[in-house]
């Protein structure tokens, strides 16, 4: 049996719909985060991802909500080689 573009798209859409249906209850069960918590969470996640890209660097997150300022700064970790 050959796979046509139409057959591929139809099967992909069907699998996507099932996956969305199964994931919906898990998403709804999460407690809501405040905008401040959400910003802090994503800033920490970005810093963690950047650390995975370059493990010789350490990243710190600073968020100042009063002045609408977010900073993710990297610096060489102690004992890291250049």
Structurally, the chain folds into a number of domains equal to: 2
Same domain, 52 and 24: no
* 49 touches 74 (CB < 8 A): no
Same domain, 26 and 36: no
Q: How far apart are CA 15 and CA 9, in angstroms?
A: 10
Same domain, 39 and 77: yes
Same domain, 63 and 79: yes
> 25 falls in which pLDDT band (50, 70, 90)?
low
* 74 touches 50 (CB < 8 A): yes
pLDDT in tens, 34-69: 999 999 999 999 999 999 999 999 999 999 999 999
Check pLDDT > 90 for residue 73.
yes
Instruction: Give the domain extent around 22.
Output: 1-30
Residue-level pLDDT at 12: 72
For the entire predicted model, the pTM comes to 0.55
Q: How far apart are CA 33 and CA 38, in angstroms?
A: 6
Q: How far apart are CA 63 and CA 13, in angstroms?
A: 40
More confidently predicted of 17 and 77: 77
* 77 touches 58 (CB < 8 A): yes
């Amino acid at each position: 049996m050959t796979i046509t573009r139409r057959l591929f798209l139809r099967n992909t859409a069907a699998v996507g719909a099932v996956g969305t249906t199964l994931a919906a209850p898990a998403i709804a069960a999460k407690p809501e985060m405040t905008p401040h918590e959400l910003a802090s969470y994503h800033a920490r996640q970005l810093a963690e991802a950047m650390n995975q890209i370059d493990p010789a660097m350490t990243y710190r997150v600073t968020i100042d909500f009063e002045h609408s300022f977010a900073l993710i700064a990297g610096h060489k970790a102690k004992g890291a080689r250049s």
